[in-house]
Amino acid sequence: MQTLSTIRELLAARGLRPKHRYGQNFLHDQNQLRRLLNAAAIQPGELVLEVGPGTGTLTEALVELGATVIAAELDADMAAIVDERLGERITLLRGDCLDGKHALAPALRAALGGRGFALVANLPYGAATPLMMTLLTEHPECRGQFVTIQREVADRLMAQPDRKQYGPLTVTAQVMATIEPIGTIPPSCFWPAPEVVSAMVAIRPRNASAVDDPKAFASFVQRLFAMRRKQLRAILGKAFPLSEEFNPRQRPETLDPAQLVRLWQAARAHAEGAG
């Protein structure tokens, strides 16, 4: 794996510095990288998506494990470094991994080709939440996400009802997947050191889910939490047949994920009956 000295030299040789606008904080602690790789348990020949490879530290480790790597890099300077070091050993896509906030970029979808894959990445902070949500709701072929993110986002993934961190990301992730903390990472493990603590998590899709339309469910939860402080009766209307499980005065933020699934199912049935 690349050391901190190697990363610095790669940038210095090209007159480059980490770019704040891209959220470039390079993870150089090899023990932390190994923890992420061990959690991902990549098998030889397995298809792996990496977003934001930077200078290619994690990319090179994935290639050494025998993974078939598709890497998406927004920064042309970083993409040039990865291309120079790894060349034809990976598929490198230059540009944003996302098309808006709710879909993978067309070039990335084409490269994946509907095949099963795992996401293994030190995610750029700005792309983390929309990418994770997109994979959870649109790509059942993703067998797991093994990522470094801000600890704040990790806390949201694992939050409990009626807490400030509890929201649409929490509910969708916990309904669709299991969330396992891998560990926290202090700023000193990155260069330059970020102002926040980071965390590694493993997100593994559930084999069976009560939700047969993840995108519609996520949209429903998003609408509810846009009015999270209002009572259910005020949100859903007087004509909505709330079951005895729900108190009309409850707020969405007090409902656990399983309750929100049942409420969504009731809302869908009600809409179909009204139609």
> Does the pLDDT at position 209 exceed 80?
no
pLDDT in tens, 139-168: 999 999 999 999 999 999 999 999 999 999
> How far, rounded to the nearest angstrom, does the alpha carbon of residue 70 sit from its chain's CA centroid?
16
Average pLDDT over residues 218-247: 93
User: Is the whole model's pTM more than 0.85, yes or no?
Assistant: yes
Is the pLDDT at 123 greater than 70? The verdict is: yes
Q: Which phi and psi angles does 73 have, rounded to 5°?
A: -130, 125
What integer pLDDT is reported at residue 101 of this predicted model? 87
High-pLDDT (> 90) share of the chain, %: 90
Give the percent of the chain with pLDDT over 70: 99
Structure-block tokens of residue 271? 């809409």
Burial class (CB in 10 A: 0-12, 13-18, 19+), 26: buried
- Alpha-carbon distance of 169 to 136, in angstroms, equals 10
Instruction: Write down the mean pLDDT value for the chain.
Output: 95
Indicate the range of 6-20, 64-78, 132-146, 200-214 predicted with least confidence. 200-214
Distance CA 84, CA 10 (A): 11
User: In this predicted structure, what is the pLDDT of residue 210?
Assistant: 78
**For residue 275, what pLDDT band results from cuts at 50, 70 and 90?**
low
Express each pLDDT in 62-90 by its tens digit: 999 999 999 999 999 999 999 999 989 99
Return the amino acid letter for 113: G
pLDDT in tens, 39-63: 999 999 999 999 999 999 999 999 9
C-alpha span between 12 and 170 (Å, rounded): 40
The whole-number pLDDT of residue 240 equals 92
Q: What is the token pair recorded at 201?
A: 């998590």
Q: Report pLDDT for 68.
A: 98
101-114 residue pLDDT tens: 889 999 999 999 99
Q: What is the mean pLDDT of residues 5-14?
A: 98
Measure the CA–CA gap between 197 and 131, rounded to whole angstroms.
20
Consecutive H or E run containing 204 = strand 198-205
Token duo for residue 248: 């009309």
pLDDT at 274 over 80: no
